[in-house]
Structure 1
Amino acid sequence: MRYRALKLEVFGATPVAASAPSDVDVEEVRLAGYETGYQSGWDDATTEREKSDQLIAADLERNLRDISFTYTEARNEVLTGLGGLFSSILSQFLPAIAAEAVGPIVDAELAALTNDLGEARCELLAAPRTVEQLGWLAERHMEIDLRLTSEPAFADGRVALRFAGEAREIDLSAMVDAMATAIRDFTQQEPQEEERRNA
């Protein structure tokens, strides 16, 4: 018995064999895929960096606000703690310094008056505390009939000399007032005002 091959009729167009892609086409596809992947990675990295920058900026702003607030609190605490010291400086230390500083100036003035006018009577007027601190001048200038007189109306650091018709005044109270004003301004001004003035 013999078998014959069965032939079937093909309907439709005859299929065309697909052509194999060339090396140039493969390289272009590969480069396009690489470029697309690179661009996608770059975009993702840029987005992440922007998000990170926003978080860092927000954290920095919050930290700066906290630091500013902490500085204000710390400054107020320090100034409150030093309130007694500043009060003593204003009421005792500065006047004492003025009274001490005026001594050598008055001493030099008395020496000059003695050289110019010779022996005579001299009256020295000063605040009570200043008079106490200038008591040594009577012993130093024995050749002068020096009389020290308390004048409550005088501020510490102000001295008036009356000597043989001459009148001279030495006044360091303005210096004391300027120093006291500077201390008061520092302790009372707001931190923002201080920063503005220092800028």
Structure 2
Amino acid sequence: MSGRPLTLENFHFVPAPEIPVEVYDGERLEAERLESFDKGYTSGWADASAAAESAAQERGQVLDNRLDELAFTFHEARAHVMRELGPLLDAIVRTAVPRILHDTLGARLNELFTEMAEDVAEAEIQILTAPGEAEGVTTALKDRARFPVSVRDDDTLAPGTLQVRLGAAARELNLNALETSLTDALEALDTLNEETLAHG
């Protein structure tokens, strides 16, 4: 038979080259073990620190959010209470303030008389009022005046205005201005509360 020659696989064993085995001494093994431990410890510490910092930031953020909510709730509640008090404050301004002004008028006039009387020896105090208000001033001064006082209407004075004269000295009291300033203050408070409710 003629044909191609038969090629057989070569099973001849070729030994692998010998790799030299490195021999470690005990000190070197211990040093590597300690270095490995230190690296692991440092890495674990860094991870734990990062986790603790992240948790602290989360808690801080939650606390900040809660405080913001509480502050908003407090301001909203305060504004709501003040808004509900608005009608009461209006009623006080309309009814109580004029009565308080009237009830304390005698004491305030006596204070004014004392200040003015320091410079004048003996003279009667004259109180000029707007038309129709002399009787109310006389009633307010009843049993309170420590000086001789005469009260009379003056057509030139506006309602709620008193003029106190002692000798050449004269002072003016404007009861409406006090009432107006109280009303303005209460209205400003009400406006502030409405803005707080609207904008937080």
Band the TM-score falls in, shorter-chain normalisation: 0.5 to 0.7
1:72 alignment counterpart = 75
| Residue in 2 that maps onto 1:116 | 122
- Residue identity matched to 1:73: E
- Which residue matches 1:51? 54
- Check whether the contact 1:161–1:167 (CA below 8 A) recurs between aligned residues: yes
Q: How does 1:22-37 map onto structure 2 within 5 Å?
A: 22-37=25-40
The answer for the alignment partner of 1:185 in structure 2 is: 188
Structure 2 contact 120–167 (Cα < 8 Å) conserved: no
Moved over 6 A (4+): 13-17, 127-130, 162-166
Q: Taking structure 1 as reference, are residues 93 and 19 closer, same or farther at Cα in structure 2, changes over 3 Å only? A: same
Give 1:154's aligned amino acid: P
Partner amino acid for 1:83? Answer: G
Structure 1 residue 146 corresponds to structure 2 residue 150: yes
C-alpha separation in 1, matches of 2:169 and 2:40: 101
- In structure 2, the gaps of 5 or more residues are 1-12
- After superposition, the Cα gap between the structure-2 partners of 1:14 and 1:71, relative to the gap in structure 1 and judged at 3 Å, is closer
Query: Quick one: distance in 2 between partners of 1:20 and 1:191?
Result: 81
- Provide the rounded CA distance (Å) in 1 between the counterparts of 2:21 and 2:185: 96
TM alignment of 1:66-145, pairs within 5 A:
66-107=69-110, 109=113, 112=117, 116-117=122-123, 122=126, 124-126=128-130, 131-132=135-136, 134-135=138-139, 137=141
Percent pairwise identity? 24
Deviation at residue 35 of structure 1 after TM alignment: 1.2
**Cα distance change on mapping 1:59 and 1:128 into 2, 3 Å:** farther
**Greater RCO, 1 or 2 (C-alpha within 8 Å, sep 6+):** 2
TM-score by length of 2: 0.63
Residue 45 of structure 1, CA deviation: 0.9
Q: Match of 2:44, as an amino acid?
A: G
CA distance 1:128–1:28, change in 2 (3 Å): farther
Aligned residue identity for 1:137:
L
Give me the CA root mean square deviation.
4.3
Secondary structure (helix, strand or coil) at the match of 2:33 reads helix
Asked if 1 retains the 8 angstrom alpha-carbon contact of 2:164 and 2:172, the reply is yes
Please, which runs of 5 or more residues in structure 1 have no aligned partner? Answer: 1-9, 193-199
Aligned residue number for residue 4 of structure 1: none
Displacement, 1:165?
Answer: 9.2
Length, aligned pairs only: 179
Instruction: Please give the residue correspondences for 1:8-19 in structure 2 after superposition, counting only pairs within 5 Å.
Output: 12=15, 18=21
Alpha carbons of structure 1 residues 136 and 172: separation in structure 2 relative to 1, 3 Å? closer
TM-score, normalised relative to structure 1: 0.63
